[in-house]
Amino acid sequence: MTKENAYAIVQAARSAGKVTGLEIINQLFDNFFELHGDRNGTDDPAIIGGLATYHGRPVTVITTDRGTTVGQRIAKHFGSPAPGGYRKALRLIEEAAKFHRPVIALVNTAGAYPGQSAEEQGQGAAIAQNLLKISQAQTPIITLIYGEGGSGGALALACGDEVWMLEKSTYSVLSPEGFASILWKDSSRAPEAATVMKMTPQALLEQGIIEGIVEEPTDHDQTIQNIDLVLEKRLAELVQLSSEELLKRRHARYEKF
């Protein structure tokens, strides 16, 4: 893959015209009933989650959200969840596990919110708890990255059984700008970094980081239909597994790295 088209994917992943998590929820899921709050002092608007039915099956669905108005975007830190957002997601996943309800997580975030308040509320600790607890959650968890998969902030919602990506999405340890500035002290070399980092869906699939890629035409409806085909099939297979088999498979998934 040439550096031009790796960076073109980075730009496409960040584009304002991307399909949003709420669009996917509204079109693919019925009776979405939002559940707010981390039960610990905050309700981070950058994470939206709740109960819904998917092809008649009850599921818990969680998405990152960047907002549409200026006010929303500021409140949502442009889609970068605060520690309370990860705590909310975790409590919803644990509740889903109690009732053996599958979880579908939709991720598009530049990364976890890096502000002072996030540090004080334990951003690192919040992500760590997700990784720890989700590894043991006894229900199928499928993640779709539908834009940027920014580092630990994305991993905290992508550490379940399978991770799928839209064609024009990325998943990386750091932004290419950050990577270039740390290693080469020159953030303008981001396009080059994008290639070196192997952060495109195809490169990630080759490394065994993700299970597959969902075709993404410019038409949102068509994209959502493609997502539906994959999700329905994968979910139907995962719900057949016993809790033991599921967790064994999940641990093996991460052991190989």
Partner 1 sequence: MRLYKAKNTLSERHVQANRQADAKVPDDLWRTCPKCQRTLFAAQMDEYATCPGCGYGFRISAKQRLSWLVDSAIPMDTDLQTKDPLNFPGYAAKLAKAQEKTGLNDSVWTGHAQIDNVEFNLGIMDPTFIMGSLGTITGEKITRLFEDATKRRWPVVLFTASGGARMQEGIMSLMQMAKVSAAIAQHDAAGLMYIVVLTDPTTGGVTASFAMEGDIILSEPRALVGFAGRRVIEQTMHTEIPADLQDAENVLKHGFIDHIVARQDEKSTLAWLIKYGGKQND
Determine if 71 is a binding residue for partner 1 (CB under 8 A).
no
Q: Closest approach of Cβ 239 to partner 1, in Å?
A: 8
Size of the site for partner 1 (CB under 8 A): 23
Binding partner 1 (rule: CB under 8 A), the pick from 12, 28, 38, 200 is: 38
Provide the token pair at 108: 């598009």
How many other CB atoms are found less than 10 A from the CB of residue 67? 18
Amino acid sitting at position 144: L
Determine if 140 is a binding residue for partner 1 (CB under 8 A).
no
Determine if 40 is a binding residue for partner 1 (CB under 8 A).
yes
Q: Closest approach of Cβ 135 to partner 1, in Å?
A: 20
Q: Which range, of 36-44, 112-120, 193-201, 214-222, touches partner 1 by CB under 8 A?
A: 36-44
Give the helix/strand (H/E) hosting 60: strand 57-64
β-pair type (141-150, 162-166): parallel
Q: Which range, of 35-43, 115-123, 207-215, 226-234, touches partner 1 by CB under 8 A?
A: 35-43
Give the helix/strand (H/E) hosting 11: helix 3-14
Of 138, 171, 176, give the one whose Cα is nearest residue 156: 171
What residues contact 228, with CB distance under 8 A and at least 6 apart? 28
Provide the token pair at 170: 């990325």
Determine if 135 is a binding residue for partner 1 (CB under 8 A).
no
**Which residues bind to partner 1, rule: CB under 8 A?**
31, 33-43, 51, 53, 57-58, 84, 88, 95, 98-101
